[in-house]
Amino acid sequence: MTKAPAQAVEGLRDLLTVERLDTDLFRAPATAEKPGRVFGGQVIGQALSAAAATADPERQAHSLHAYFMRAGDVQKPIIYRVLSDFDGGSFSSRRVVAVQDGRPILNLAASFHRAEEGFAHACAMPQVPSPAECPDFRAALEMTGQKMPRLLLEKLAPFDIRVGKPSPQGRDGSQLPTQYLWFKLAHPLGLDASLQRVLLAYASDFALLTTSVLPHPATFFSPQLQGASLDHAMWFHATPDTDDWLLYAMDSPWAGHARGFARGSLYDSSGTLVANTAQEGLIRPLNP
């Protein structure tokens, strides 16, 4: 049964708040009683949360780079080991290993920066209809005959998600590898700057890789396609406000060798560019 928005959002906040066991050791509990894979965004968000807990609170994450190695098991806790590699005058570097059953499932490196002034420029936000004019994401998927896995639907319960505009079509009638999604928390939380970044990292893993499948005769959630994130990179340019609408503009410049590459830009409702993402993932067609 789908949780009420407020309950789902508060559950997400608790999920991304890891328990400190020792100076550089953290734990996140198991999240389900039934078998399933851990959502990649969860491991990224929890790893960033653990890294941030060891950094000066005056320094906020400005980038992260992560590699997925094994699928996480939702029935088991995850241990996060943090290595404090560097603390300089302006920057701090952290490495995090996420471990289950003594084996790493993700490696993440994050850098933190003390706020300072400097040159500034940013690309403008794409022209997209306002969220009020856009259809609900889940309803739009159902209209195309796509069914999302139950576990993924549960992961999306804390968010209100709208399809910014339909993906454009190429000359051959296929969809171009571009998509736009508006999203925000379904219930306001008023998180601090660190948790805002953690939550955005969690959300940024959803839908990004699906962009690389759009031009091809398959849907990402089809049993005829094996899809999984291989890596994930993110750059934070400003503190996001996940209580308000954010636009996720995504495109995929390349796919090949059963892999797809996608990149994204995240804008707030005023048009400010708050983050960029990049990801390569497995998109392996399976024989019917």
Please give the positions annotated as active site. Answer: 205, 229, 279
C-alpha dihedral (239, 272, 183, 253), degrees to nearest 10: -110
* Alpha carbon distance 254, 40 (integer Å): 21
H or E stretch including 41?
helix 40-53
Contact yes or no for 80/26 (Cβ under 8 A): yes
Q: Which amino acid is at 190?
A: G
Q: How far apart are CA 108 and CA 44, in angstroms?
A: 8
Phi then psi for residue 38, to 5 deg, are -70, 135
Look up tokens 């636009």; give the residue.
247
Closest by alpha carbon to 87, among 109, 118, 49, 54?
54
Name the amino acid, one letter, at 146. Q
